[in-house]
Amino acid sequence: MTLTEPAAPGAIEGSSDFTGGLDIAAARPLRVDVWRRFKRNRLAMVGLVLVVLLVLVAIFAPWIAPYGITERSSDFRQGPSSDHWFGTDGIGRDVFSRVVNGARVSVRIGFLATAMSLILGLVLGCLGGYFGGITDTLVMRLTDVFLAIPYTVLAVAIATVVGRSINSVILIIGLTGWLGIARIVRASFLSLKRLEYVEAAHALGFSRSRIIMRHILPNALQPIIVYGTIAVGSVILTEAALSFLGVGVQEPTPAWGLMVAQGKGNLVNAPHLMFFPGAAIFLTVLAFVFIGDGLRDALDPKLK
């Protein structure tokens, strides 16, 4: 996590550690402090370890998985065994290999869709919050309109139009996920742009883009970092939901939500079909929630 140094006075308060007594004045970089507080949070560290593991699994998936994702054996819907750790699915594919490869799908969609909605939300939120007036009204009315449609309905409707590849799922979630971020960024900009140091920057004759990028944005980053971390988790949940409803990623791509959906008819005789991909989604999302919570507490110790 890279955190930009506060570029101006009036930056993030409480960034120095007060337990040190005398060395309050010693200017330690903010990120060192944040990391120290983050490290003390056990749940957050569990989350971090899980995410690192997930990314490693995603990178090395082809070497970890003992079978191919479309490779079939003659055992259908077998429970877990030493040959097939997570059992086999309805057409004899190895569930473990598919769950491992599913990490790639989730990681890719999770990070790229979040990045896309972060960028969209940042740009629109900055524009609305900084310039105000008609730009602001337009951006806010746009978020109103899209927030008025229930999220699942909106995502499903767009998904039906855009298609069902991994990239279109990234597009759908990216295009629908920026609303919350835009609102947060706008709110921070509205309050920050009235502060004296911004006025000072204006008086010094800095350009608007410099003021936005170097003076306001770094101080508005805190809630965005927290929101963005948790958003990766919710994106993975949304992807699973879309796949489950049949408008997300398509067979034979090993998406976890799709695997749960395929297991739903076999709850009585083969619950493992649903359990393992379901647990994978759960652990992944949980990890991001833990990290997000840990970051929030570490970035703003006043809240704790």
Partner 1 sequence: MTSYIIRRLLLIIPTVFVALSFLFFLFFLLPGDPASLIAGGANRAIDQGVLDRINARYGLNDPIPVQFVHYWQRTIQWDLGESFLNRRSVNEILGERSINSIRLGIWAILIEIIVGIAVGLLAAIRRYSIADKLTTIITAGASAVPVFVLGFVLQYLFAVQPNKLGWPEWTKLRTSGLGPDTWTFFFIPTGEQWRYLILPAITLASVSTALLARMTRGSMLEVLRADYMRTARSKGLGERDVVIRHGLRNAMLPVVTLIGIDFGTVIGVAVLTETTFSWPGLGSEIVQAVGQRDLPVLLGLTLAVVLAYALINLVVDLSYAWFDPRIRLGEGENS
Q: Does 293 bind partner 1 (CB under 8 A)?
A: yes
Q: Does 246 bind partner 1 (CB under 8 A)?
A: yes
Q: Does 26 bind partner 1 (CB under 8 A)?
A: no
Using CA atoms of 155, 157, 162, 163 in order, give the dihedral in degrees to the nearest 10: 90
Residue among 28, 39, 202, 264 that touches partner 1 (CB under 8 A): 264
Nearer to partner 1, 67 or 244 (CB): 244
Alpha carbon distances (Å) from 299 to 47, 118, 180: 17, 19, 20
Q: Does 227 bind partner 1 (CB under 8 A)?
A: no
CB of 277 to partner 1, least distance (A): 8
Q: With contacts defined by CB under 8 A, name the span among 7-15, 90-98, 192-200, 277-285 that binds partner 1.
A: 277-285
Alpha carbon distances (Å) from 125 to 8, 153, 219, 225, 282: 21, 24, 14, 15, 31
Judge whether 57 and 100 are in contact, CB under 8 Å.
Answer: yes
Q: Does 134 bind partner 1 (CB under 8 A)?
A: no
Residues paired with residue 93 on neighbouring β-strands, in sequence order: 72
Nearer to partner 1, 213 or 237 (CB): 237
Residue among 233, 235, 249, 300 that touches partner 1 (CB under 8 A): 233
Residues paired with residue 94 on neighbouring β-strands, in sequence order: 88
Residue among 22, 161, 203, 204 that touches partner 1 (CB under 8 A): 161
> What amino acid is encoded at 283 in this protein?
L
Question: Helix, strand or coil for residue 93?
Answer: strand
Residues that bind partner 1 (rule: CB under 8 A) add up to a total of: 42
Judge whether 206 and 7 are in contact, CB under 8 Å.
Answer: no
Q: Does 50 bind partner 1 (CB under 8 A)?
A: no
Residue among 81, 160, 165, 207 that touches partner 1 (CB under 8 A): 160
Nearer to partner 1, 81 or 152 (CB): 152
Residue among 25, 148, 203, 204 that touches partner 1 (CB under 8 A): 148
Nearer to partner 1, 197 or 275 (CB): 275
Residue among 21, 133, 150, 205 that touches partner 1 (CB under 8 A): 150
Nearest in space to 293 (alpha carbons), one of 284, 304, 280, 302: 304
The encoded tokens of residue 153 equal: 């309905």
Nearer to partner 1, 45 or 245 (CB): 245
Q: Where are the alpha helices (DSSP H) in 127-216?
A: 133-148, 151-162, 166-176, 178-192, 196-203, 208-210
The encoded tokens of residue 64 equal: 């970890």
Q: Does 131 bind partner 1 (CB under 8 A)?
A: no
Nearer to partner 1, 4 or 250 (CB): 250
Angle CA 70–255–118, to nearest 5: 145
Instruction: Measure the CA–CA gap between 283 and 99, rounded to whole angstroms.
Output: 13
Q: Which residues bind partner 1 (CB under 8 A)?
A: 43, 140-141, 144-146, 148-153, 156-158, 160-161, 233, 237, 240-241, 244-247, 257, 260-261, 263-264, 267-268, 271, 274, 278, 281-282, 285-286, 289-290, 293
